[in-house]
A and B are shown apart, each in its own frame.
Chain A
């Protein structure tokens, strides 16, 4: 009972903390939205000016003393990308894998794209396909929407249908974390096999408390005696989210935002959804479609809500994780942006330095908070997934 209460207390704290960071993110989003909007207009105006002057002068575009736009800067850094941006103009190129209708699979490195800084980048390959990496969300001539950072392809001015299977920054980070997990946990399993019944050593010793924590504090209280079936998923998901969150906090590594990439979290949430509903017992479905002890008219209201909840619960898991991790990155990037805004492009050294000191101090605090959030979000995702599994497999006869 007390264990359950403590879990509940933790959840409350989380909800509060999550709500807070959500609010910050919202506030900030509003800010960046305006900024982006401004920029969009500004950018368009600039573009028109450019087309009048010179059509293809991207280098000059970069050299131009451009105004710093925090919103664009931040979105650019937390969004997925086709390369890993270390600093300045130093990028680690990543493989681009495109399946193009009528052309087949096209593979090349992202360094093939020409153009620096902002604005669309182009690559004309030898086979006659022109690729464009879009700088902003655009709708192509064939009514296909491409998000910023997305790639479109043309052959002789004709838009081609592109399916992008590139190893992007988030995919790369994810593969890195997953292979690290494979190595780590298989070697730990080996060490357990080597010294059965002995006290754990090294890495096994470091990770065993977490494994036991997930089993004894998260899975067992939520699921009960069917816990063994769900342990592999819960453990994998916990360590995956936790390590991805931590990787995102390593500075100078391109700011991985794996768990803040909706394409990754949607997969995790879908797995939770599938596992919950495929394991749902008679009692679970009974409660869903015919809630007991409820007057008939209320059932008509309650059942649609419950059915909606089947999808809503994993969706909330997805949004919470994505938003929390992105929000942490946004706050840190926002404080970085403040330095440039106050520095006013190098013209206001004093205010820029002052802001730099303040921002750095605050960023250090934020980094500590993000370390906590990295663990908490992994914990919350795992705990809620376990609670959903428990709801689906809960047998009232055992109560």
Chain B
């Protein structure tokens, strides 16, 4: 039993030397690099995950803002189209009005001109008729009026000669 319960000097010495030597060698050449590598890898994985998260959030924001922009653009377009349509309608209406006005004016002036012409024509006709009557009367007076027949012939001739035809 003594062999089990008594720490043997040689075992203690060898165990101390060997264990400490291995501990220091492993600390320098194994545990340091291994733990550093594990840490680095964990950090790079965590970094990658964070980055992915960040990018995804950014993408979400981006797509949301895209949506907004699209909505705004659509509204803008609708507004512009409406305005354009209104403007076009306005223009057409204006043009119609203007054309009508111009036509009315033209018609009015034409009517005026016609009235003036008619008046002038009537005045001319009156003057012509007067002149003609005077001429006829003159001729009648100048010729001898011997007979009725001659008179009648004369009137008829005069009438024939009249520019009324």
Contact = CB atoms under 8 A, between A and B. Distances in A.
Q: Do A and B bind each other?
A: yes
Interface of A: 33, 36, 75, 78-80, 97, 137, 145, 147-150, 163-168, 170-171, 174-175, 178, 181-182, 185-186, 188-189, 192-193, 196-197, 208, 211-212, 215, 228, 231-233, 235-236, 240, 261-264, 266-268, 271, 326
A338 B31 CA distance: 46
Given A186-B26, A231-B31, A236-B22, A267 B1 contact: no
Given A148-B3, A171-B14, A266-B12, 9 more contacts: A80-B8, A188-B30, A189-B32, A189-B34, A192-B34, A236-B19, A262-B4, A267-B16, A271-B19
Nearest to A29: B1
A175 B18 contact: yes
Contacts of A228: 35
B130 interface: no
Interface stretch (B36-44, B87-95, B149-157): B36-44
A240 B20 CA distance: 12
Contacts of A79: 3-4
Given A211-B34, A267-B16, A164 B8 contact: yes
A263 B11 contact: yes
Contacts of B27: 232, 236
A150 B12 CA distance: 15
Interface of B: 1-16, 18-23, 25-27, 29-35, 37-38, 40-41, 44
A105 to B, nearest CB: 12
A174 B3 contact: no
Given A164-B10, A232-B26, A263-B15, A188 B34 contact: yes
Main secondary structure on B side of the interface with A: helix
Contacts of B15: 171, 174, 263-264, 267-268
Contacts of B4: 75, 78-79, 262, 326
A150 B3 contact: yes
6 contacts: A78-B4, A80-B8, A192-B33, A197-B40, A235-B31, A267-B12
Contact of A75 (B1, B11, B33): B1
Nearest to A198: B41
